[in-house]
Structure 1
Amino acid sequence: MMDTTPLRQAYDALLATAPRAVPPPDEWNTEQVLAHVSLVSAATISTVAAVASGAISTYDNRLSQDAWTLDRVITLASGEAGLRERIRVQGEALCALAALLSEAELATKVPTLLLSNGTCLVEQPLLLRDILAGLADVELPGHTKQL
């Protein structure tokens, strides 16, 4: 079973961060960052659920960077407050699911494609455990600093 404390702490830190007044040039605004985090969280929940159900899964973050999709998520969540609530609930759900995974499930290799600003960071199978650790240790803290 996985200790989800670091993941919970990463979500809590992101949600406790006050939004910045104006983003630096060529960076997402607060709502876009939060929409991206919501989409990444949803994709991670989907991957964890697929592995737990024995289904074949992939992990691909391209959709979470698409401008139209970000705008749609912002609209559907009704802006920043709705996005923060969505992320809070997604974090709780992901931590609850991840805490129940067996060692064999956490060791499942998931074909992964991760991009950042158009650059491929990862294009190889990753252990589900490493995907979750990357979310807690890199992805969420990076966006916390961005806010």
Structure 2
Amino acid sequence: MLDTTALHDAYDSLLEAAVTVADSAHLRTPRPGEWNADRILAHVCLVTAGTIAAVAAVAAGEHTTYDNRHALDTWTIDRVVEQAGGSPGLRARLRRQVEILCGFGGPALSDPELDSPVPLLGLSAGALLTDAVVPLRGLFKGLADIEIPNHTRQLLALLPEKTAV
């Protein structure tokens, strides 16, 4: 059985930060190569959708992998921003994705399914972070403990000094 409380809380914090940034009249300009708020949210939507796909594959009795390279492609990110309709649409999309992903918690997946090996390739800013086989439950933990909190901090870093939390 999987408790998704920490994952849900991490996404709640990210979405709260996204609203704070969207409501701010003044934002810092991202440094060259860094993303604005919409690109950060689109990236998180892509990461979340990829995780949902991997989890659903295991639930369907299939073998799966997780590779985040598509979620780093700026053309794909910009297309998601456009298709979602900008910040409000990205936040709404992500809220629905969180419901779906966290819906795999509790008794939705058995321990053997959660222990299913998933080859994971994770990159960030062109650097290899992970190239390993992890249990499916590790995808949930990685999002809750690392990925989502890092992007929450990234969003909040767009705020002026006096506003940043």
Query: Would you say same fold, with TM above 0.5?
Result: yes
What's the CA shift string for 1:38-62, capped at 9, x where partnerless? 0000000000000111111110000
Q: In structure 2, what residue type is equivalent to 1:129? A: R
Larger radius of gyration: 2
Which residues in structure 2 correspond to 1:1-147 (within 5 Å)? 1-17=1-17, 18-19=20-21, 21-26=27-32, 27-99=34-106, 100-147=108-155
1:133 Cα deviation after fit: 0.2
- With the length of structure 1 as denominator, give the TM-score of the two structures: 0.97
1:24 Cα deviation after fit: 3.1
Q: Which has the higher mean CA deviation after the structures are superposed, 60-69 or 91-100?
A: 91-100
1:23 Cα deviation after fit: 3.9
Q: Which runs of 5+ in 1 are unaligned?
A: none
In 1, distance between residues paired with 2:29 and 2:154?
8
* SS in structure 2 at match of 1:125: strand
Aligned residue pairs total 147
1:98 Cα deviation after fit: 3.3
Moved over 4 A (4+): none
Identity over aligned residues, as a percent? 50
1:22 touches 1:29 (CA, 8 Å); kept in 2?
Answer: no
In 1, distance between residues paired with 2:136 and 2:29?
33
- With the length of structure 2 as denominator, give the TM-score of the two structures: 0.86
What's the CA shift string for 1:5-48, capped at 9, x where partnerless? 00110110000112271243131000000000000000000000
* SS in structure 2 at match of 1:137: helix
1:145 Cα deviation after fit: 0.5
